[in-house]
Amino acid sequence: MPQGNEPTCRLYLVTPPALEPAAFAPLLAEALDAGDVACVQLRLKDCSDDAIRRACDALRPIAQDRGVAFILNDHPQLARETGCDGVHVGQKDTPYDQARKILGRDAIVGVTCHDSRHLAMEAGEAGADYVAFGAFFPTSTKEAEYKAEPELLRWWSELMEVPCVAIGGITPENCGPLVKAGADFLAVVSAVWHHPGGPGAGVKAFNTAIAEASAD
Ligand SMILES: Cc1ncc(COP(=O)(O)OP(=O)(O)O)c(N)n1
Ligand SMILES: Cc1ncsc1CCOP(=O)(O)O
Ligand SMILES: [Mg+2]
């Protein structure tokens, strides 16, 4: 998470929904060595607890050794057991208060708020470390039921201190309005892992696009 002297908007990498840890490890290292990344979320859907543990053990040190926070999606208890820096929970997952109890006050706990000011205020008041809004653009990574607009980021960032994350279909080409509207983080799957030049090129393209949008 940002501390001081860093760009105002940073990249939040989310892993592909299915991966083989040994094969994915060098891709993650390539992405993190290419430029600025604030955190990595391990998001494995329909996986056993053991498979998630194995993926955490293989991938967590790659992020943490580079000073990048490693956050687990959906599973606060596993996040605690495997030494993750935090957890991301959605509205149908373990409730925020319970996740916080499991992980303690020093961990990062982020909450999905879709397109809802109300959910975001609730999460922010409860103590969430960030609120996540989306989907901003069409995405094939997840069936997104909600559509958020950049204006929501502007409203939130002008009123609130709690950082906001934008997610859903974000690319280097379309991220400018989100950066300008005040997103603290851009959470991205496809545009990095499926970048034609590889994940390192994807991270570089986002770093450039964020810097250009911030300078405008
Ligand atoms: C940063 C970030 N924002 C939103 C989500 C989505 O969480 P959720 O609604 O619980 O859906 P799943 O990701 O669990 O399918 C996220 N994971 N990360
Ligand atoms: C997890 C999630 N939550 C809302 S959209 C989304 C997927 C984002 O993936 P992509 O960056 O490939 O659109
Ligand atoms: Mg979830």
Q: What is the CATH number of domain 10-215?
A: 3.20.20.70
Dist CA 215 CA 82 (whole Å): 39
Dist CA 46 CA 25 (whole Å): 20
Q: Is 142 in the pocket of ligand 2 (CB under 6 A)?
A: yes
**Taking Cα atoms as reference points, which of 141, 126, 124 lies closest to residue 184?**
124
Average pLDDT score over residue span 38-52: 97
Residue 4 has pLDDT above 80, yes or no: no
The confidence score (pLDDT) of residue 155 equals 98
Provide the CA 182 distance to its chain's centre, in angstroms: 16
ipTM value, please give it. Answer: 0.99
Residue 186 Cα, ligand 2 centroid: separation in angstroms? 10
Residue 167 Cα, ligand 2 centroid: separation in angstroms? 6
Ligand 1: residue whose CA is nearest its atom 12: 90
Q: What ligand 2 atom has the least distance to the C-alpha of 169?
A: 13
**62 is written with which tokens?**
């790659």
Model pLDDT for residues 46-70, shown as the tens digit of each residue: 999 999 999 999 999 999 999 999 9
Residue whose structure tokens are 């994915």: 24
